[in-house]
């Protein structure tokens, strides 16, 4: 059987850590050329690139913020010149802060909403426009069960991830006209740096909530994501799939 993503060209946000790094490696293993952005760690970017090229796929990394609209437009043009286009976009990058609502500062609220919501717009818009021109493409947005269930996570984070769900569902209808699908994964708690910003009490109780009795591994989400963005998943559109280890609702 052929690889899931043979010949595809993917762009993944936040590709140096946790779920993003796992997405880059699994997508490359499944046959995709992978470009990714990152915010700070040059050493981790080189590690991710090495994992991609180890699968004999092209790698491209760019140190750029997901809220840099001008820079992201330029990056999209560069990738089109280099690779001829982008077939897959995964909006993975996000931040969280361990705040209660009563103690959330204006700065913390703005930072989370700006990164997780405005960044979604800034990354998607230029790539979506080139997908329209090529009349094909798939977009996968990573949201959270914190946007669906009343978990003791930060209100600003849950709010931003609920916005991702609305973005996914509404854009999917518009995008379908151009042969583009838009779906999302609502992730449970995975063993990442982001998860470890959650309150200790939440992490301690997690094993009692989740049927699997542990944190998810980033590669477990990446494996499912590879199927979701593949041509074998051609009829799914506008869906939010929960991957959380069987958490109690």
Alpha-carbon distance 204 to 138, whole Å? 36
Alpha-carbon distance 169 to 238, whole Å? 5
Concerning whether 157 is annotated as a catalytic residue, the answer is yes
Helices (H), 177-242: 200-209, 218-228
* CA-to-CA dists, residue 37 to 44, 68, 92, 100, angstroms: 11, 11, 10, 30
Catalytic residue, chosen from 38, 157, 224, 235, is 157
Alpha-carbon distance 99 to 150, whole Å? 15
Alpha-carbon distance 214 to 247, whole Å? 10
Alpha-carbon distance 91 to 70, whole Å? 18
Distance of CA 74 to the CA centre of its chain: 20
* CA-to-CA dists, residue 77 to 1, 41, 88, 158, angstroms: 33, 24, 15, 33
Strand partners, 143: 186
The residue to which tokens 């899931």 are assigned: 4
Give the catalytic positions in this structure.
Answer: 157
């Amino acid at each position: 059987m052929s690889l899931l993503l043979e010949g595809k060209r993917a762009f993944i946000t936040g590709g140096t850590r946790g779920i993003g790094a796992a997405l880059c490696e699994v997508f490359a293993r499944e046959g995709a050329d992978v470009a990714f952005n990152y915010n700070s760690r040059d050493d981790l970017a080189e590690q991710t690139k090495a994992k991609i090229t180890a699968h004999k796929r092209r790698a491209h990394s760019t140190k750029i913020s997901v809220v840099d609209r001008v820079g992201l437009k330029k990056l999209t043009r560069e990738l089109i010149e280099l690779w001829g286009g982008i077939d897959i976009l995964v909006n993975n990058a996000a931040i969280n802060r361990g705040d209660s609502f009563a103690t959330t500062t204006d700065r913390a609220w703005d930072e989370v909403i700006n990164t997780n919501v405005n960044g979604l717009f800034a990354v998607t818009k230029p790539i979506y426009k080139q997908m329209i021109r090529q009349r094909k493409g798939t977009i996968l947005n990573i949201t959270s069960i914190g946007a669906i269930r009343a978990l003791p996570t930060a209100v600003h984070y849950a709010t931003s991830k609920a916005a991702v769900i609305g973005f996914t569902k509404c854009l999917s209808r518009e995008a379908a006209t151009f042969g583009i699908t838009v779906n999302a994964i609502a992730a449970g708690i995975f063993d990442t740096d982001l998860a470890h910003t959650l309150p200790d009490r939440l992490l301690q109780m997690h094993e009692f909530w989740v049927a699997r009795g542990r944190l998810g591994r980033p590669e477990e989400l990446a494996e499912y994501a590879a199927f979701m963005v593949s041509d074998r998943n051609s009829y799914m559109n506008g869906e939010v799939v929960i991957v959380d280890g069987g958490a109690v609702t």
